[in-house]
Homo-oligomer: A and B are copies of this chain.
């Protein structure tokens, strides 16, 4: 390996930002090294659609202050940015022009001292049409979608943090496939305006990081909520391990990954118990389709009405089909979603969290698909926080994540347990899920 390795792999974001704030010269040098690494790796990776001007970034780095001082961040190109072209993954419809304002979450990143080093690839309007991004953790396999570039950039060690989004499984799934941490906060804890709308009920801002602590630190800086401390240290925690999945069962490797994670949690003194989702979970999973479809047709009405031919066939045909979802069907789906939020909250009972696969398997081979979002849609619809924890591998040696899910608003707990799980998996490399590691 001849490429320089940036130190984003080693230092945690909190310590790095503190060092930058204390030493502007160090912040500047760090930034220049990050940009050199990106330049070197980008041709093979294809994680970015554009990069910020190095000299402008270096100047920002030298005066950076705040909890993310001088931290290089990649921003998925579905978020509006004032200084960088914003194309929503649709260069046919959106020329390489910046937006008129920073999305609020991007403004919050900058206010916390972060440096937006570039826009990362997204599938077209964050739907399914694949990007050209490669998975740095699994040669020949999709990095997932729609936040492909953000997952890949973090996985390759180019940036320690990246912004993504999730409407079905666009944060947790690529995090799982690329072997990084993915965190989808409680719905609306991070503002989503200035994120190109696909579904206003489902679109959620997501974060990618190499460590759970980094994701928590970033989310704390952006949201003003206490997320960085494990508030539950010392408290008895119970995790429900989901058995049957109404949307179909995962591959054996994903199931073994969950078993390995459950064992690791028990090793930390956390109680695990098998649970089966109640019937409303399946109904809510189905409702996700109607909510997303109805809202996508509405949200993309301008593009669909005026430029149908410039959409990918994948998206165009999806919208054509979704246009038949009636307002009544949409209302029914929203009622199911509301009922599911209430019923699942009660059903969870004494359990603090759920443990499930992040995706049905390791990343599929090839680049024709970004993989299925089946294991993510329910939680996105509920608006419950999810963290995908890496550290395990599938039958072909590609990364496979496990997902911790909590009730709405319990992000600090989900992140805290995810941190313990991450540590336990790092200390127990024998607990990989692979039956036979070929990759």
Contacts and interface: CB of A to CB of B under 8 A. Distances in A.
A305 B191 contact: no
Nearest to A295: B191
A247 interface: no
A200 B188 CA distance: 9
Interface stretch (A32-40, A296-304, A353-361): A296-304
A295 B110 CA distance: 18
Q: Looking at A94, A100, A224, which has the most chain B CB atoms within 10 Å of its CB?
A: A100
A244 interface: no
A223 interface: yes
Interface string A163-195: 000000000000000000000000010011110
A15 interface: no
A377 to B, nearest CB: 20
Interface string A299-341: 1111101100000000000000000001100010000000000
A102 B298 contact: no
A45 interface: no
A101 B200 contact: no
A111 interface: yes
A201 B223 CA distance: 16
Contacts of A104: 197, 298-302
Q: How many copies does the complex hold?
A: 2
Given A191-B200, A193-B299, 20 more contacts: A99-B100, A101-B302, A103-B302, A104-B298, A104-B302, A107-B301, A107-B302, A107-B305, A107-B306, A108-B301, A110-B305, A111-B301, A188-B200, A188-B201, A194-B197, A223-B327, A224-B326, A224-B327, A225-B327, A331-B409
A57 interface: no
Interface of A: 82, 94, 97, 99-104, 106-108, 110-111, 188, 191-194, 197, 200-201, 223-225, 295, 298-303, 305-306, 326-327, 331, 409
Nearest to A106: B302
A224 B328 CA distance: 9
Contact of A303 (B101, B103, B200, B295): B101
A298 B99 CA distance: 18
Contacts of A306: 107
Contacts of A97: 100
Contacts of A326: 224
A111 B224 contact: no
A197 B94 CA distance: 22
A362 B201 CA distance: 38
Contacts of A298: 104, 108, 191
Nearest to A95: B100
24 contacts: A82-B302, A94-B100, A97-B100, A99-B100, A100-B100, A101-B303, A102-B302, A103-B302, A104-B299, A104-B302, A107-B302, A107-B305, A108-B298, A108-B301, A111-B301, A191-B200, A191-B295, A191-B298, A193-B197, A193-B200, A224-B326, A224-B327, A225-B327, A331-B409
**The 8 A-B residue pairs with the shortest CB-CB distance in the complex, in nearest-first order:** A107-B302, A107-B301, A193-B197, A102-B302, A225-B327, A191-B298, A224-B327, A104-B301
A82 B100 CA distance: 13
A107 to B, nearest CB: 4
